[in-house]
């Protein structure tokens, strides 16, 4: 994800990194060449004049804009729901760490680092599950070999780690370090962790219906391909530039919607899961009294 400080309006016209324009350039160049050909032939193909005028294209473009707006709203809702889930994950992690440190009846806190490591492993395992990447390197730094082997064999690794956290709580209860009420408080937050995992899995496993995406995709490109024939008589050689501007707007909206539909990916405008994981890891270790390296990144940096 790219986070920038507020820039001058003129500089924003030339922003390249983080925009969808680099990926759209081949398509826009192809459409520009088509528009030049239509302008050169005056809308005539094999001696047949394409009888289009701007009126139906204007009406159709308005309807298409409404559908694209709906498509972008749906994608942004998924993006924002993912962000809220990871915000909740931060709050729950802090609460669990605080409970592990303060709700014990015994002053012996030698077992707390084990719980902190499990919680930290849970965060990174969830990130890797959502991105479908290998969590081995991150988990190896935080878990002993026995737990690491069991977790790596599991399909749903965060859930297995959550079971280990629940077993830690039960062990503390059996040893009399926490009572039944305190155990119930732990269990409430563990249930909330399960809700976060389920919410993230719901977003990943339920994409926008494919037939809807195909219909909108085809409509955008058919509309952009017909634009040159409808505008050539009124705009002449200026038509290719207007067509590219209109096409960039419609195609870019579709590309942005596709990019943020799955907010847990690694594209420029997806959620900054690496940064979020590191922040949660730092805050729970700081709560535990461990020294952390504080490095404030500039707001215009790229955060993935």
Band of pLDDT at residue 300, cut at 50, 70 and 90 = very low
Q: Are strands 48-49 and 44-45 parallel, antiparallel or unpaired?
A: antiparallel
Rounded to a whole number, what is the largest CA-CA distance in the chain? 92
Look at residue 11 and tell me whether its pLDDT is greater than 90: no
Rounded CA separation 126/277 (Å):
9
Contact 176, 105 (CB under 8 A): yes
Rounded CA separation 115/171 (Å):
11
Model pTM above 0.75:
yes
* Mean pLDDT, residues 280-287 taken together: 94
Of 23-27, 40-44, 141-145, 192-196, least confident by mean pLDDT is 40-44
Cβ count within 10 A of residue 7: 12
* Per-residue model confidence (pLDDT) at position 302: 47
Look at residue 296 and tell me whether its pLDDT is greater than 50: no
Share of the chain above pLDDT 90, in %: 58
Look at residue 13 and tell me whether its pLDDT is greater than 80: no
* Per-residue model confidence (pLDDT) at position 301: 47
CA angle 236, 241, 246 (to 5 degrees): 115
Look at residue 297 and tell me whether its pLDDT is greater than 60: no
User: What is the secondary structure of 189-213 as a DSSP string?
Assistant: HHHHHHHHHHHHHHHHH-PSPHHHH
Share of the chain above pLDDT 70, in %: 90
Contact 3, 296 (CB under 8 A): no
Contact 164, 147 (CB under 8 A): yes
Contact 35, 240 (CB under 8 A): yes
Rounded CA separation 202/253 (Å):
24
**Structure-block tokens of residue 230:** 């409808």
* Mean pLDDT, residues 223-243 taken together: 90
* Per-residue model confidence (pLDDT) at position 97: 94
Contact 199, 152 (CB under 8 A): no
Of 62-66, 210-214, 272-276, 293-297, least confident by mean pLDDT is 293-297
Average predicted confidence (pLDDT) for the chain: 87
Helix orientation angle between 112-131 and 273-287, rounded to the nearest 10 degrees:
170
Residues 6 or more apart whose Cβ sits within 8 Å of residue 70: none
* Per-residue model confidence (pLDDT) at position 170: 95
Band of pLDDT at residue 124, cut at 50, 70 and 90 = very high
Look at residue 218 and tell me whether its pLDDT is greater than 60: yes
Domain map (residue ranges) of the chain:
9-287
CA angle 275, 277, 278 (to 5 degrees): 65
* Mean pLDDT, residues 98-125 taken together: 87
Band of pLDDT at residue 4, cut at 50, 70 and 90 = low
* Per-residue model confidence (pLDDT) at position 304: 65
Phi, psi at residue 82, to the nearest 5°?
Answer: -60, -40
Exposure string (b/e) for 98-117, b if CB count within 10 Å is 16 or more? ebbbebbeeeeeeebebbbb
Rounded CA separation 232/168 (Å):
72
Of 3-7, 17-21, 123-127, least confident by mean pLDDT is 3-7
Length of the chain: 304
What's the pLDDT tens digit per position in 92-107? 999 999 999 988 776 6
Rounded CA separation 82/225 (Å):
36
Cα–Cα distances (Å) from 133 to 24, 62, 68, 298, in that order, read 27, 41, 31, 28
């Amino acid at each position: 994800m790219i986070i920038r400080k507020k820039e001058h309006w003129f500089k924003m016209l030339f922003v390249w990194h983080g925009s969808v324009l680099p990926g759209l350039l081949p398509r826009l160049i192809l459409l520009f060449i088509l528009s030049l050909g239509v302008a050169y032939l005056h809308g005539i193909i094999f001696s047949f004049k394409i009888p289009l005028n701007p009126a139906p294209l204007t009406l159709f473009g308005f309807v298409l804009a409404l559908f694209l707006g709906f498509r972008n709203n749906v994608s942004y809702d998924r993006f924002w729901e993912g962000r809220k889930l990871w915000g909740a994950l931060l709050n729950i992690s802090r609460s669990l760490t605080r409970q592990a440190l303060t709700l014990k009846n015994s002053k012996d806190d030698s077992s707390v680092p084990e719980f902190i490591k499990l919680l930290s492993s849970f965060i990174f395992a969830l990130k890797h599950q959502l991105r479908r990447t290998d969590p081995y390197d991150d988990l190896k730094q935080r878990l002993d070999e026995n737990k690491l082997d069991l977790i790596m064999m599991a399909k749903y690794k965060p859930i297995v780690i959550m079971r280990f956290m629940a077993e830690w709580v039960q062990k503390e209860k059996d040893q009399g370090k926490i009572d039944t009420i305190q155990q119930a408080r732990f269990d409430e937050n563990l249930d909330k962790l399960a809700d976060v995992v389920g919410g993230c899995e719901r977003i990943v496993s339920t994409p926008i219906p494919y037939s809807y995406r195909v219909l909108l995709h085809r409509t955008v490109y058919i509309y952009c391909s017909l634009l040159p024939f409808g505008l050539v008589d009124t705009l002449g050689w200026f038509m290719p530039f207007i067509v590219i501007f209109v096409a960039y707007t419609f195609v870019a909206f579709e590309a942005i919607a596709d990019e943020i539909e799955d907010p847990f990916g690694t594209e420029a405008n997806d959620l900054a899961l690496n940064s979020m994981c590191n922040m949660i890891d730092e805050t729970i270790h700081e709560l535990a009294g461990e020294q952390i390296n504080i490095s404030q990144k500039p707001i215009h940096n790229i955060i993935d």
